[in-house]
Structure 1
Amino acid sequence: MNHQNSLGSFQLGADLSGKRIVVAMSGGVDSSVVAALAARTGAETIGVTLQLYDHGSAVKRAGACCAGQDIRDARAVADKLGIAHYVFDHESQFRESVIDHFADEYMAGRTPIPCVRCNMGVKFTDLFRLAKELGADCLATGHYVRRVEGAGGAELHRAFDPARDQSYFLFATTQDQLDYLRFPLGDLPKPQVREIAAELGLIVANKPDSQDICFVPDGDYASVVRKIRPDADTGGDIVHIDGRVLGEHKGLIHYTVGQRKGLELGGQPVPLYVVRLDAAKQQVIVGPRAALAVQAARIVDGNWLADVQGQPLMAKVRSMAKPVPAQMDGEWLRFDTPEHGVAPGQAAVFYAGDRVLGGGWIEETEAVELNLAAA
């Protein structure tokens, strides 16, 4: 199999001898293949793994990353490739910047995205610094995005494989980071990545992909929040948008905007959805699906890779949502047509074609005026 197209994506010149590449190795197949491709360029390759949480709690977990068995897998791959491998303990930083923030956001009635916080903090900022300290010419990762050299410098683009594209989670990548980062897998479909791993005899060739939230066992995020914030199960009222109290909830952490299941409100004339969460009053506000319609969202803490003001763009407001037409007007993202299920705490990421223009955090939303009698 010819991997030259992948090797070219390191973009350090035709002859990489004398160059040094640091590869972020999580112990999965993607980052392992990146390490293998880097080593094959002739550049000195160094694998770096960040231990992000306790070995013991994750060593037997399938679909985890950055702990236990995954660290051993990364080391085994590095040994097979004949490259140096270092493990750095960043557990306390990860707990403070990602896990604690995750719990606090749920307690505040918001819907967090810990993977973005991890990428913009522990993974990119800290790995960026470590790679620089190691004298590397670039830092390579196994993310499925593309780095394209444009007229104004490096640009971030969606991956070739839309099913694997991770650009939504990397919107907070700064221009300085993008100049230094490399994403060799951005042009490859996942099956080909596994083929490369198998061809090279890497033990992780058939290893399952990691789950999105690595520190949440079995998808039970409420148990994680309860462990960190024991008062997370404080109940309160479920209130219709017309002011009627319809029932009681068992804690805001169990609900997200757009949720329908689990409300346990029988006998209602129409299906009800979570419209918003009021942490100050400990209330879950519900209403018909029409009440989820949002015409605008206020965006804060933006990271901009291009100008987005006053021009048509495509906005993605949930990781699994399709981008929709919108415009930025100051701090406000205004949708061309009403969008449903826009939740504070989530990210809004902006695109022009495949190019990522930047993004920010949804702080609040502006609902479409609703006629309750008609709804």
Structure 2
Amino acid sequence: MTRTGHSSELTVVAMSGGVDSSVSALLMHEQGRPLAGMFMKNWEEDDRDGTCPAEADAADAQAVADRIGITLHRRNFAAEYWDNVFEEFLDEYRAGRTPNPDILCNREIKFRTFLDHARDLGAERIATGHYVRVRSTDDGWQLLRGRDSGKDQSYFLYTLGQDQLACTDFPVGELPKSSVRDRAAAAGFGVHDKKDSTGICFIGERDFRGFLARYIEPCPGDIRTPEGQVLGEHQGLMFHTLGQRQGLGIGGVRGFPDAPWYVLHKDIDENVLFVGQQHDHPWLMSRQLTAGQTHWISGQAPAAGTPVQAQVRYRQNAQAATVAEAGNGRLRLVFEQPQRAVTPGQSVVVYSDEVCLGGGIIDACDAPPAGPLAAVNGGDTA
């Protein structure tokens, strides 16, 4: 949603050097808004062997700002990012969970630290290049999915609240990605064909295992079947996530079919990685989940019995579910169809059609149906 009636208010655009934020700045400028840009550096490059090209991105952002004719401010939020995002990222992996730092970065950096710095510059509003929309209703502000269903980023913004939505513009939320690139090319932006960023910035293109092992000491343990048979050794539960089929190092196990192996369960207490050869193994399938650290954009949790749609990962079609319980920071959802690889530490995000209601951090689900330790203790571990 692009608002009108704010022509005298300074807006600061979060400019990353990518095409989405660049076109967001262009669209705001075309409306005649008093405008400035801000480039955020969230990671110290000397700790990354140069794999996160912050300086190149800053140069791209500066080139766009110069072409539009606005000031670009630079801010280093590396300390805030380390304390409020990266430390929690590590804590979650130490606990055997699989976190989503992009969601935490939006909450702690882009819509808190960045917003504070924009206000220090005298800004009343901010704008970002997220593919989402905002709508004002009699009951408050709503966060809507972006028009481009393939680029919708509402999953990553479910932690936003009324105050943030009231002062934020999302200029590309109404556009398909192809139109955004066309607008950038027409404006002469060198970033019009720049590749979209993928993965986690502080990891970049480097080996994930090698990066994580720099901060958390690996603890090897058994790889077992649900029946308790030992197949090999994992190098650390932190390197694996539910449903994973790559990087297990147990191909061609004698006595088993020549078929892929999948991570079924991580037993944190016993440091055991359970695997199986069924893509939809019963241990991977869940009809319900519980989540904590919930946040509801309207400020009010949906009532028990409310039909909703939910996503347990970003690249997933919304799944029909019913709210069994919500409130006091907790959520319990029951799905119409079993969901595969519901992963503790990831976020479940809840929708009512195109409206993002909120969500929480997955704690547990109803799979595996029987305790893995029972299977191990009663199984053949020879």
Scaled by the length of structure 2, the TM-score of the pair is: 0.87
Q: Give the aligned residue type for 2:296.
A: W
SS at match of 2:171: coil
Question: Residue 159 of structure 1 contacts residue 186 of structure 1 at CA under 8 Å; is this kept in 2?
Answer: yes
Q: Does 1:103 align with 2:90?
A: yes
Q: Give the aligned residue type for 1:114.
A: P
Q: Does 1:367 align with 2:367?
A: yes
Give the alignment of 1:281-292 within 5 angstroms: 281-287=270-276, 288=278, 289-292=281-284
Aligned residue in 2 for 1:4: none
- The separation in 2 between residues aligned to 1:262 and 1:205, in whole angstroms, is 35
Aligned residue in 1 for 2:379: none
What's the CA shift for 1:158?
0.7
Aligned residue in 2 for 1:255: 240
SS at match of 2:148: coil
Aligned residue in 1 for 2:328: none
- The separation in 2 between residues aligned to 1:160 and 1:100, in whole angstroms, is 34
Aligned residue in 1 for 2:117: 130
What's the CA shift for 1:207?
1.4
Aligned residue in 2 for 1:26: 16
Q: State the identity as a percent.
A: 37
Aligned residue in 1 for 2:340: 340
Q: Give the aligned residue type for 2:238.
A: I
RMSD between aligned alpha carbons?
A: 2.2
- The separation in 2 between residues aligned to 1:223 and 1:104, in whole angstroms, is 17
Q: Does 1:298 align with 2:316?
A: no
Give the alignment of 1:1-375 within 5 angstroms: 9-13=1-5, 16-55=6-45, 61=51, 64=52, 67-218=54-205, 220-229=207-216, 231=217, 233-263=218-248, 264=250, 266-267=253-254, 268=256, 272-287=261-276, 288=278, 289-306=281-298, 307-310=301-304, 311-330=306-325, 331-367=331-367, 369=369
What's the CA shift for 1:23?
0.5
**Cα deviation digits, residues 3-31 of structure 1 (max 9, x gap):** xxxxxx43132xx5422111011111111
What's the CA shift for 1:346?
0.5
SS at match of 2:366: strand
**Cα deviation digits, residues 201-248 of structure 1 (max 9, x gap):** 12211211111311213263222211222x1x2200113233333321
* Between 98-107 and 294-303, the greater mean CA deviation after superposition: 98-107
SS at match of 2:106: helix
Call closer, same or farther: CA 1:239–1:55 in 2, change over 3 Å. closer
Call closer, same or farther: CA 1:109–1:368 in 2, change over 3 Å. closer
**Cα deviation digits, residues 99-128 of structure 1 (max 9, x gap):** 232233223221111111111111111112
Q: Give the aligned residue type for 2:264.
A: V
- The separation in 2 between residues aligned to 1:304 and 1:120, in whole angstroms, is 13
- The separation in 2 between residues aligned to 1:204 and 1:337, in whole angstroms, is 42
Call closer, same or farther: CA 1:154–1:255 in 2, change over 3 Å. same
Scaled by the length of structure 1, the TM-score of the pair is: 0.89
- The separation in 2 between residues aligned to 1:282 and 1:315, in whole angstroms, is 31
Q: How many residues align?
A: 357
- The separation in 1 between residues aligned to 2:310 and 2:2, in whole angstroms, is 29
SS at match of 1:223: helix
* Between 274-283 and 353-362, the greater mean CA deviation after superposition: 274-283
Gaps of 5+ in 2: 326-330, 376-382
What's the CA shift for 1:57?
6.3
Question: Residue 59 of structure 1 contacts residue 69 of structure 1 at CA under 8 Å; is this kept in 2?
Answer: no
What's the CA shift for 1:90?
0.7
SS at match of 1:205: helix
Question: Residue 282 of structure 2 contacts residue 367 of structure 2 at CA under 8 Å; is this kept in 1?
Answer: no
- The separation in 2 between residues aligned to 1:17 and 1:370, in whole angstroms, is 61
- The separation in 1 between residues aligned to 2:186 and 2:225, in whole angstroms, is 58
Q: Give the aligned residue type for 1:284.
A: L
- The separation in 1 between residues aligned to 2:264 and 2:45, in whole angstroms, is 39
**Cα deviation digits, residues 148-183 of structure 1 (max 9, x gap):** 222312211111111111111111112221111111
Call closer, same or farther: CA 1:95–1:19 in 2, change over 3 Å. same
* Between 31-40 and 235-244, the greater mean CA deviation after superposition: 235-244
Q: Give the aligned residue type for 1:280.
A: D
